[in-house]
Amino acid sequence: MIRAEPPEEKDISGRWEDIHDRLDRLEARQAELLEDIKVVREQLLVIGGVLEQVRDKRLIGWSRPPTSGPGLLLYRFFELVRSPGEALAFLSELERHARELSRRTRRSGAAAPWQLEFSYPTYLRRLTGALRELLFGKAAPHYRIVHRGSRRLAGRRRKVLHVIPNLNIGGSTQLVIDLIEYLGLENEMQILTAKLPAGGAPVGAITHLVPLGSRAPAFAHVLDAFAPELVHVHYWGGSDEPWYAEAFSALSGRNLPTVENVNTPVPPLRDPAVNAYVFVSDYVRTHFAADLDPALAHVIHPGIDRAVFQSGAIARASDADAADTVIMVYRLERDKLDDASIEVLIEIARQRPATRFLVVGDGPLLDLFVQRTIESGVRANFEFTGSVPFAALPELYGRAGTFIAPVVRESFGQVVPFAMNMGLAVCGNDIGALSEILDGTETLGRDPADTVAKAVALLDDAERRVALGERNRTRSAMFGVEQMVEHYAELYEGLVPALDMPGFPPARIFR
């Protein structure tokens, strides 16, 4: 029989240490693998977010046509071959649309009725433009950063990251652009967004793309790379809510001063990371965040470039056509307006046939609005312009003496300060922030009938209309873009004080 001798204590100790060493190496390797898995997972989340955005946009296959280039032209050709009847019907509708937008309102004298005059040059321009967009895609506007204002660098530049779901043309994007243009010399500003417009990122601004569907690590990657000292979130809720939630998840625990701008009539996204909530009107603050700590709540009205919207009140008062002209400038979509918004204008035209309406804007409601004026027998009182370049707005405002806002929702609305700065009287529904902008409800109706009555009374009293226009012009000074950026500069300074550079003299800028 062979009897095994027990190992010596020294051998046991050595083996035990060897086992411990192996376990330590395994644990270290496991930690490395877990870190690698984390990195891969983050990369997959980013890729998944991109795929989610592609799916949401339905760009796989031709379930939605290409937006420009040869692909769009080829798509249109196949559509014509596949469904010639539908394609021809669409072209017929396009021609009718161009024809309606080419009718201009004219009258032979102040006492004469308004008549429609067909403009062939406008018709050809509209039709060829529509066909060009159909075949080659719509021209893509884009922003170009131009530094403005008088504020200058006082020390090291504060690093600010603007977080906004998309950079489509609109008020929220314009706010970001204004802040970069007016405060960009004293703040290093970059943008984090989920979607770029067709024209691409703003020229002159560093923009990070974190697509819809992305998770917190994708946002964290941008935060780590840029290392902002202040984050400015531009919030409007809606379908972009999950994207905002991931952004705030990435901010959690970083102790970064954070501003949340609430740009639409929605409750703010409340988060412990937010140090200041900025509302575009007191109406939004009181109706959607009345219980918010007053120390956290700020109201900063959007600003307009007052130098662009100027005109002489004397010239307007002596122009009979302008005195009888009412202008409405909105996207004709079911956000601020609804199907019944045109009915107020139609009733004014019925009660006061001398009134002409300039309806500026395009959208799903346009055809309905045109059809309702035809059915109501007042088509000759309406001139529909469709969409126009921003630079054309002052001239259109200059053709009117009164602005009307038949809105059903309104958080602020810069089109009203545009009108005020040009000396127009303003009437409309007592909705949202309109009474706050005008500082009263004198010309705002409680319901459609009251709005009609107040509008007719205003149009029939030229002296009062001109006086209100001048009062509006004076009040519009508080809505200048310069005033707005000063308020934001003070807010930034309060959250992240001036960043001095010890040992260096004050900075001087040479041009």
For domain 158-303+482-495, the CATH architecture is 3-Layer(aba) Sandwich (3.40)
**Predicted local confidence at residue 412, as pLDDT:** 86
pLDDT confidence of residue 56: 46
Lookup result for tokens 């980013």: 46
- Tell me, what's the pLDDT at 39? 63
Q: Which helix (H) or strand (E) holds 161?
A: strand 158-166
Reported confidence tier of residue 60, pLDDT bands at 50, 70, 90: very low
Q: What is the DSSP secondary structure assignment for residue 362, as one 8-state letter?
A: -
* Rounded Cα distance, 373 and 329, in Å: 17
**Mean per-residue pLDDT, 271-290:** 96
Pick from 436, 438, 412: nearest CA to 426 = 438
Judge whether 368 and 342 are in contact, CB under 8 Å.
Answer: yes
Q: What is the pLDDT of residue 368?
A: 96
pLDDT, greater one: 130 or 328: 328
Mean pLDDT to the nearest integer, 353-367 = 96
Which of 52-66, 330-344, 430-444 has the least mean pLDDT? 52-66
Q: Which two tokens stand for residue 175?
A: 């706010």
DSSP letter for each residue of 195-253: E--TT-SPBTSEEEE--TT--HHHHHHHHHHH--SEEEEEE--GGGHHHHHHHHHHHTT
Average pLDDT over residues 249-263: 96
H-state helical runs in 282-432: 282-288, 313-317, 320-323, 341-351, 366-375, 393-397, 415-421
Chain-centre distance for alpha carbon 236: 9
Q: Is it the case that residue 140 has pLDDT exceeding 70?
A: no
Amino acid sitting at position 65: P
- Would you say 458 and 476 are in contact if contact means Cβ atoms under 8 Å apart? no
Write the DSSP symbol of residue 163. E
| Fold match flag (158-303+482-495 vs 313-479) | yes
Who contacts 451 (Cβ-Cβ below 8 Å, separation ≥6)? Answer: 344, 406, 427, 428, 429, 444, 445
Closest CA to 428 of 450, 401, 413, 459: 450
Residue 180: band (very low, low, confident or very high) from pLDDT cuts 50, 70, 90 = very high
pLDDT in tens, 62-100: 445 555 555 555 565 566 667 777 767 777 888 888 899
The whole-angstrom separation of Cα 214 and Cα 216 is 7
- Domain regions of the chain by residue span: 69-104+115-136, 158-303+482-495, 313-479
What whole-number distance in Å separates Cα of residue 321 and Cα of residue 318?
9
What's the whole-number average pLDDT of the chain? 86
Among 80-89, 125-134, 171-180, whose mean pLDDT is lowest?
Answer: 80-89
d(CA 24, CA 18): 10
Beta 103-106 vs 115-118: how paired, if at all?
Answer: antiparallel
Give dist(CA 31, CA 242) in Å, integer.
Answer: 31
Give the pLDDT band (50/70/90) at residue 24.
confident
- pLDDT range class, residue 335, cuts 50, 70, 90: confident
pTM of the model: 0.79
pLDDT in tens, 375-415: 999 999 999 999 898 889 999 999 999 999 999 998 888 89
Cα atoms in the 13 Å half-sphere on the side-chain side of 414: 22
Cα-based torsion angle of the residue sequence 12, 16, 17, 22 in order, rounded to the nearest 10 degrees = 140
Lowest-pLDDT range, 211-215, 270-274, 366-370, 409-413?
409-413
CB contact at 8 A, 347 and 372: no
pLDDT the model gives residue 75: 62
pLDDT reading at 309 higher than 60: yes
Instruction: Describe the strand order of the beta sheet including 402-405 as a list of residue ranges.
Output: 382-386, 356-360, 325-329, 402-405, 425-429, 444-445
Check whether 474 has a pLDDT greater than 70. yes
313-479 carries CATH number 3.40.50.2300 = no
Q: Give dist(CA 209, CA 201) in Å, integer.
A: 10
How far is the C-alpha of 77 from the C-alpha of 83, rounded, in Å? 10
Average pLDDT over residues 429-448: 96
* pLDDT > 90 fraction of the chain, expressed in percent and rounded: 62
How many residues would you count in the chain? 511
